[in-house]
Amino acid sequence: MASLTGYAQAVEILRWERIPLAVPLIVGQERIVFVDQNVRVGLPRTLVGKLRVQSTGGAIYLLANELIEPSRLQLQNMTSGEIMLVDIAATVGKENQAALEPVKIVAGEQQSSRYGQVGAPQKSKQNHVSGESLVQESSEDPPVARSETPVPVVITRYAAQMLYAPLRTVEPVAGISQVNLNRRLDLTTLIPSLPVEASALGAWRMDGYWVTAVKLRNTSAQHLTLDPRELMGDFVAATFQHPYLGGKGNASDTTTAYLVTRGHGLAESLLPSKVGQIDPKGGRREE
């Protein structure tokens, strides 16, 4: 056993609790950072050529080619969007200095429930009555975990943060994921009563709900008040980033609408484009 101790290598555990984590480096020595998540590494342009970064299978390999002043890396979870901050600095190692041990980043304990977090199901009072009651309940389906906040509210808030807030401030939400979206989706029937140009920006889903962010731009010179009742389609909820649109050319002529659908994406909730060609008087418009 003593002969094997030389091959054992400790792993330094760092807990992410929204405080930047220090990961020192030695020039010419590769250091491994285990994250156990599918992450994307963001680094300043000043480190291009100085730091080699490779990421695969939840492990990040960092190799400093030269001295590096204290700098900050961003590790973004590709599923939840959460960003972890890692501070690095590369120095020249001493003669015969041992290689630095790998680092493993784990989630810190949360003292309070977070927005949209799924709470643990409550235990039935029958569990404390007798052993017979426990056997009877074990054959039934376990209680379904419920979210503290309605899902449409959670995903709308998340979408707004992803579009308007700095990435480092986006609160992670378990179970939410980004979905593919056809950005050329025909939205001419979305709000036909207003002179507004609509285009799709992005979409996310969670627990059977979809939220699609749609950019609205005023094409007229008049001030427009936005009313969700003027939206045409099958929506669970609709929210505007701003309650009005300024005239074309003003800084306020553009905003974002968040449209929540259930069981499918936005495309299946829109009215057919041919409906927009029907004249209210009974005729059909010429294109």
DSSP letter for each residue of 90-145:
EEPPPTTPPPPPPEEEEEPPPSSPPTTPBPPPPPPGGGGT-HHHHHHHHTSPPPPP
Instruction: Assess if residue 206 is contained within a domain.
Output: yes
Q: Which domain holds residue 91?
A: 8-107
Final residue of a domain: which of 107, 124, 140?
Answer: 107
Using a pLDDT cut of 90, give the percent of the chain over it.
49
77 and 14, same structural domain? yes
What is the pLDDT, as a whole number, of residue 208?
Answer: 92
What is the pLDDT, as a whole number, of residue 53?
Answer: 92
Helices and strands of the chain, counted as H and E runs: 2, 16
Furthest-apart CA atoms within the chain: distance in Å: 93
- φ, ψ of residue 208 to 5 degrees: the values are 85, 0
Instruction: Assess if residue 123 is contained within a domain.
Output: no
Number of domains in the chain: 2
80 and 160, same structural domain? no
Final residue of a domain: which of 86, 107, 128?
Answer: 107
Total Cβ atoms within 10 A of residue 85: 14
Final residue of a domain: which of 92, 107, 122?
Answer: 107
74 and 185, same structural domain? no
202 and 101, same structural domain? no
Instruction: Assess if residue 58 is contained within a domain.
Output: yes
Q: Which residues of the chain have pLDDT under 70?
A: 1-9, 109-148, 274-287
CB contact set of 202 (below 8 Å; sequence gap of 6+): 159, 162, 163, 178, 181, 212, 213
268 and 161, same structural domain? yes
If residue 147 lies in a helix (H) or strand (E), which one and from where to where?
none
Residue 101 belongs to domain with CATH number: 2.60.40.1080
Cα first-last separation, the chain: 84
Total Cβ atoms within 10 A of residue 86: 23
What is the pLDDT, as a whole number, of residue 147?
Answer: 57
